[in-house]
Amino acid sequence: MNEPGIAKDLDAFDSMLAELHQLPSDQSALIIEHLQGARNYVAGSMPAELAFNLNLAKAALDNISDSGIKDRVRRFIDHYRH
């Protein structure tokens, strides 16, 4: 990844994490943990670790009851998994 691309990706992760922090922690804590890990791997250009954390985050989506946020997070994860 180039530096401007990394900065854009980090901003996208930060925005998604900020949105998730608005949810009750019992719904969001696990997915936040996995997306924060994924964010670190974006910054370090570690694609295998990024994919692993994104898969864990996707598995935690069932904890989120708000269907709108759940869909946005799912699309976000799918975007970064490809």
pLDDT tens across 13-55, in order?
999 999 999 999 999 999 999 999 999 999 888 999 999 999 9
What is the rounded (10 degree) CA torsion for 50, 56, 57, 61? 160
Structurally, the chain folds into a number of domains equal to: 1
Q: Which has the closest alpha carbon to 17: 2, 7, 30?
A: 30
Q: Could you tell me the two tokens for 15?
A: 């925005």
What's the rounded Cα separation, in Å, for the pair 82 and 69? 20
Residue 2 banded pLDDT, cuts 50, 70, 90: low
Residues spanned by the domain of 73: 3-81
Residue 63 banded pLDDT, cuts 50, 70, 90: very high
SS3 51: helix
